Amino acid sequence: MRLINILAIAIFLLLQFQNCSGGGTVNFFNNRQSLSSSEQQGGGTTYDGKPEPGDYCRVFNDVPCQTQVSNIQSMLRVDNTKIQLINDNCTSTATNFQFADVAVGLSDLNRKFIGLSRGIFKKCEVNSSGSPLPPVEMPEAWCKAKQNNVDLVISRNLATQELKLELLLGRGTEVRTVLSKGVQKSQTANNYYYTLPKEKFDLSIPASAAQTSTGHLGTVVDNAEINVELDCRQANGTSTILIDRDLELHSSWIDTSRIAGYWKLNEVSALDGTSIADSSTFGHAGLLQTGDGLNKADQNVKGGALRFDGINDGVLIADPSDNHLDFDNRSFTFMVWVYKTAASGSWDMPIWKGGNAANVSGYDIECGSSACSAFVSDNTQIFRSNFGTTASQFFGRWVHFVATVDRSLNQFSTYVDGVKVSSTDISSLGNIGTSHNLNIGRSSLTAPFDSPYLGSIDDVAIWDKALSGTEVREIFQRLRPKFY
């Protein structure tokens, strides 16, 4: 009988108590109280989709470099038109972002915080001269719901190491605020857990190197239960922007398994005869041909680009024996970033693998003194999709050109800076397979340096699928900051 009573008590305890942290700590959930909120001054009725203007600081308690102000890792400057990363891990930079960029995280409820790639930025406390003051706390985690009705910050006091919670809840036009100290943290190999010992609050965030990760919040506020998934950023010592991950095509934010060729054109020493790396899994490198002995590297672009003189510069990429750059009757995409200083001819070619005439199978992009366009040809007929009505509209600035051939929809579409501008029916297009070499900065049909391109070129990529409009837009948004 005694054993039965013990078992009954054990079962009762298991039903009453829950392990809410997942980190080996049992929280007495039914003994914890509801959090209470207060109304935030100002409410949420005047938000215009932009953070407050001013300087924002990224704080870390173990900055891996020397800094003028203790524990300030990076800084942003915000005005009414853009966000500018002015230094990053103590290194000066001038990288501009737009408010709608996918690398940027803003909150309808908390305008004093900005998420940018791997960084959490909070509006700086400044002295009378406008310089940042040494911070007293570090935002360790910042999460917000996709519905923009929940925003929370876990902050660590740099002196005492105490954790506190600021939770904002949007309820119609009203914003409610919860403030609580004594947050407890635990972790496993895969997750971080934040809990309150006396109130019903449990937050879990995956331990991830990604820019954002999906966390989960379970809490009770004003006796109302809240269970919601959140987009979370966490404090870390890495740079806010990693060029090879954030400003170039990378598997951390887009599926790269269908890339047939990716020439970043990042070579620092770009002399005649330099091998031009292919960063796709095919590793099909090109050969820079200039004949003038000059270094063609353009270091004005973050990560680098190549300059082409409009006379005899080009990158020769031999037609691969496995034909992975020929798509026959299949869908595919080709893209390039260009900066045109002027036109050297009527049809300057940043990309060419045939396609410039009805009897020349293949595909290309042409942008000289005539309109900038993409072409595909099946050796009998040629199809054109324009990027714009005149070439001059693209002079003097970096522009992103993308062309997609979608065989399922029978559409040949062109995009400029992430926006579809033209589409052509290709229901009668045949096999476009060709043995022509791929060239960057010229064609090679009738002469070694035919249709040379004048200006800079960067990030040439070819995909073995038709990218969606959403994918094209994200690529543009992700890569654009390296050029501005």
Q: In the predicted model, is pLDDT for residue 271 greater than 90?
A: yes
Give pLDDT, residue 211. 82
Give pLDDT, residue 445. 60
Minimum mean pLDDT among 59-68, 273-282, 402-411, 472-481: which range? 59-68
Residue by residue, DSSP assigns 244-293 as: HHHSS--TTTS--TTEEEEE----SS--TT-EE---STT---EEEE-SS-
Minimum mean pLDDT among 38-42, 96-100, 107-111, 354-358: which range? 38-42
Amino acid at 278: D
Q: In the predicted model, is pLDDT for residue 375 greater than 70?
A: yes
Minimum mean pLDDT among 162-166, 203-207, 387-391: which range? 387-391
Residue by residue, DSSP assigns 308-325 as: EESSS-EEEEPPPTT-TT
Rounded distance between C-alpha atoms, residue 120 and residue 324, angstroms: 41
Positive/negative CA dihedral, 392, 393, 398, 401: negative
Give pLDDT, residue 41. 53
Rounded distance between C-alpha atoms, residue 229 and residue 469, angstroms: 27
Q: In the predicted model, is pLDDT for residue 258 greater than 50?
A: yes
Q: In the predicted model, is pLDDT for residue 209 greater than 50?
A: yes
Two structure tokens written together for 243: 């060029």
Q: In the predicted model, is pLDDT for residue 3 greater than 50?
A: no
Two structure tokens written together for 272: 């005649």
Minimum mean pLDDT among 41-45, 291-295, 354-358: which range? 41-45
Tokens 């229901």 sit at which residue?
427
Query: Are 136-238 and 244-482 the same fold in CATH?
Result: no
When pLDDT is cut at 50, 70 and 90, the band that residue 30 belongs to is low
Rounded distance between C-alpha atoms, residue 368 and residue 308, angstroms: 13
Tell me the CATH number of domain 136-238, given options 2.40.128, 1.10.10, 1.25.40, 2.40.390. 2.40.128
Q: What is the CA radius of gyration of the chain?
A: 28
DSSP state of 240: S
Instruction: Could you list the beta-strand ranges (E) of 89-212.
Output: 91-97, 104-105, 113-116, 119-123, 137-145, 150-157, 163-171, 174-181, 184-187, 191-195, 201-206
**Is 222 within 8 Å of 36 (Cβ atoms)?**
yes
Q: Which helix (H) or strand (E) holds 8?
A: helix 2-16
Two structure tokens written together for 359: 């009897």
**Is 22 within 8 Å of 193 (Cβ atoms)?**
yes
Mean pLDDT of 176-181: 96
Give pLDDT, residue 23. 40
Quick one: CA torsion of 95, 100, 105, 107, rounded to 10 degrees?
A: 130
Minimum mean pLDDT among 121-135, 211-225, 256-270, 441-455: which range? 441-455
Tabulate helix, strand, coil % of the chain (nearest 5).
10, 40, 50
Question: Which residues in 6-41 are b (16+ Cβ under 10 Å) and which e?
Answer: eeeeeeeeeeeeeebbbbeeebebeebeebebeebe
Minimum mean pLDDT among 38-42, 135-139, 325-329: which range? 38-42
**Is 432 within 8 Å of 291 (Cβ atoms)?**
no
> Domain segments of the chain: what residues?
47-135, 136-238, 244-482
The top-level CATH class assigned to 244-482 is: mainly beta
Mean pLDDT of 279-302: 95
Sheet strands side by side (includes 137-145) = 38-39, 174-181, 163-171, 150-157, 137-145, 224-234, 213-221, 201-206, 191-195, 184-187
Average pLDDT, the chain: 90
Two structure tokens written together for 343: 């036109």
Amino acid at 309: D
Mean pLDDT of 101-118: 91
Count Cα neighbours of 232 within 13 Å in the Cβ-side half-sphere: 28
When pLDDT is cut at 50, 70 and 90, the band that residue 20 belongs to is very low
Backbone phi and psi for residue 388, each to the nearest 5 degrees, phi listed first: -170, 170
Rounded distance between C-alpha atoms, residue 172 and residue 352, angstroms: 55
Phi-psi category of residue 256: left, alpha or beta, with phi > 0 → left and psi -120 to 50 → alpha: alpha
For 317-326, the pLDDT digits (tens) are 999 999 999 9
